[in-house]
Structure 1
Amino acid sequence: MPKGTNERTHESATDQVTLLVPVDESATIPLAAHHGVFLGALERELRSRGQYLVLRGVAGPGELAAQLKRVQGAAVLLGFRDDELEALPPGAKPLIAVDSYAESSALTIVRADDFSGGGHAATLLATYGHRDMLLVGPSPGGSGVASARERGFTQAITTVPGVTLGRCVTTGTTYLEGVSLGRRLPALHPGATAVFAFADTLAAGLMDGLAQARIRVPDDISVLGFDNIEPSTHTAPRLSTVAQDIQRKATLAADVIVSIPDELAEHISPLTVDTHVIDRGSVRALRR
């Protein structure tokens, strides 16, 4: 072999990390926008450490367990429901679950501090004088992330007098769901002065739907998102949001993976990343 060439002809099993994600009815992978950002960040992080990432779609909970038996090395689980992860049988394979609230000793969980993020959102809106607020996102009963953000929000406003809090449940956090809801929002909640959407994509759609209904943001209603992904800087006005450090989340996941198996016990699950508010142009202060 010529000098200077890579002498390793194949990657070992421990160099391979498999990212498992659910597929929809059309057998495509419907990654949420912030999950797509995480995927890119994780791939870069692992590549810089001499590992490579394999993406694999999973058709359902039954197939998930079967796929895990065939996976070499560590597995990262992204986009699965908590109950699906809790049903996985215990095993020796290292599993990292992202954005999960599953209760399982078999998982190392990496996620944002969603509870504090919800609290940051409530504090911003209340400080700006908003008292008729609306939460928009998936049902807390079906999403640990949504539940934590809602609980953080509601706890933060318990000491704020005169608050009216409404709730609009969505199936997911897509842009199109936001547009559809935004068109109907003036009729559904005519008194609301501020909306906290549980994802930037949902918030961006809401803003477009509200514009179609001739409702101005933030003059008529304020909109606050969550994630701080790139589209939040391209809305008009630019979207105020609760930022999570997705790159840090990818770094934490990679840290767990590269420490396997010797130092895995040193990682205390869940591993969380902090959140903070980025106040751009979609939330305004009310005169009180």
Structure 2
Amino acid sequence: MRHRLKDVAERAGVSVKTVSNVVNGYLHVRPDTRARVEEAIAELNYRPNLSARNLRKGRTGVIALAVPELDIPYFAELARHVVTAAAEHGWTVLIDQTGGGPEQERKVASGIGDHMIDGLIFSPLALTADDLTGLDGMPMVLLGERVDHGPADHVVVDNVAAAREVTAHLIGLGRRRIAAIGSQRTPEGASARLRLAGYTAALADAGIGYDEKLVAPAPAWHRADGAAAMRDLLSSGVRPDAVFCFNDTLALGALRALHEAGLRVPEDVAVAGFDDIEDGRFSIPTLTTVAPDKERIARLAVELLAGRLDGDREAPPRELTAPHRLATRESTTGRP
């Protein structure tokens, strides 16, 4: 049987209003009274009726997370952290895959349906800052690099610094012909451009010239694209001694192509990726990668959204940078 607020009040010997004050976190409750109420809540396994609470606030208790592709492991892992952080607010998370298309992104950014969600955490590929500015003012937090200085709060990773760091790691190992896999020239390729800029800056820092023949494009960032790009590099006569792949799935594909070509990693070619997905910790060899703090990204996004829902929706947008680190593993340093 599901117990009600009245049952808790009777068990604790207090009024229903006092129980409500404790459940809602009001400070002006005597410590001994609060202790009796909390004990009664535990004994009865009482759970607040979040639906009723949300109804009083004019909310659904549901937020949405919209990402381009759920089969990219980075987004799946990020989604898990968003769900965990949202649960601490009593929220349910509706997860949508946009495919990076403008029509679906516009639908999501407009609220999916009438009053279906209270707010949105959104990683767009097609829509620009101008596109988002013209939409309804639903609370929103942006992820990714497509929209810069947009109309909503934004959580980012310093892609240039991270790419510069991992490329410098390869240079520090004595590698000089370092290829890059994942370049994109389309408007949606903002992450690729930033990571290419970091790669180029690290080469310049070391006095190594930029060689366009060592930069391989990838229309998408899947394993097959990484394998195809690596094969193209090898068949063109380019022989890199290291490869920086712009995400880990590209790197996993590149590892496969190098294995098929009879090249050893890292002895012949060192390989590094970006994202620190779980697969890379179990590949052979394990994958050196840039590790964005996905849990921190999720928590920052959820807290920013909570701030908008509970506070000032008119305050200027904030941009917060989540930390990253370089995780060095066997694909660059060899087995210990």
Normalising by structure 1, report the TM-score. 0.86
Structure 1 match to 2:61:
15
Partner of 2:194: 148
1:281 matches 2:330: yes
Which residue of the partner structure matches residue 91 of structure 2? 51
Cα distance in 1 for partners of 2:148, 2:294 equals: 22
Partner of 2:120: 75
Supply the distance in 2 between the matched residues of 1:62 and 1:82 (Cα, whole angstroms).
9
Mapped to 1, the partners of 2:330 and 2:316 lie a distance apart of: 39
* 2:216 alignment partner, SS class: strand
- Compared CA separation, residues 101 and 84, structure 1 to 2 (3 A): closer
- Residue 159 (str. 1) matches residue 199 (str. 2): no
Residues 1:245 and 2:293 are matched in the alignment: yes
Specify the SS of the correspondent of 2:274: strand
Aligned to 1:25: none
Output aligned runs, 1:202-221, within 5 Å.
202-221=250-269
Unaligned runs of 5+ in 1: 23-28
Distance 1:9 1:231, change over 3 A: closer
In structure 2, the partner of 1:131 is 176
Counterpart of 2:239 in 1: which secondary structure?
coil
The letter of the residue matching 1:56 is: D
1:122 and 2:167 are equivalent in the alignment: yes
Higher relative contact order (Cα pairs below 8 Å, separated by 6+ residues): 1
Aligned length: 278
Q: Is the aligned partner of 1:87 residue 2:131?
A: yes
Aligned partners of 2:270 and 2:331 also within 8 Å: yes
Which of structures 1 and 2 has the bigger CA Rg?
2
TM-score, normalised to structure 2, is 0.75
Query: Could you tell me which amino acid in structure 1 is paired with residue 292 of structure 2?
Result: Q
* Distance (Å, rounded) in 2 between the aligned partners of 1:57 and 1:240: 28
How much does 1:280 deviate? 0.9
Taking the aligned partners of 2:299 and 2:281, their CA distance within structure 1 comes to 24
1: distance between equivalents of 2:126 and 2:147? 4
State the secondary structure of the residue aligned to 1:190: coil
> CA shift at 1:113, angstroms?
1.3
Whole-angstrom distance in 1 between the partners of 2:104 and 2:140: 16
The 3 A distance-change label for structure 1 pair 229 and 66 is closer
Residues 1:124 and 1:63: Cα distance change in structure 2 (over 3 Å)? closer
In the alignment, is the contact (CA less than 8 A) between 1:182 and 1:213 conserved in 2? no
Note the alpha carbon deviations across 1:167-214, whole angstroms, 9 max, x for none: 100012111222233334322353311100011111011101110111
State the percentage of identical aligned residues. 21
**Change in 2 beyond 3 A, CA 1:107/1:221:** same
Distance (whole Å) between structure 2 residues aligned to residue 225 and residue 7 of structure 1: 45
RMSD, aligned CA: 2.5
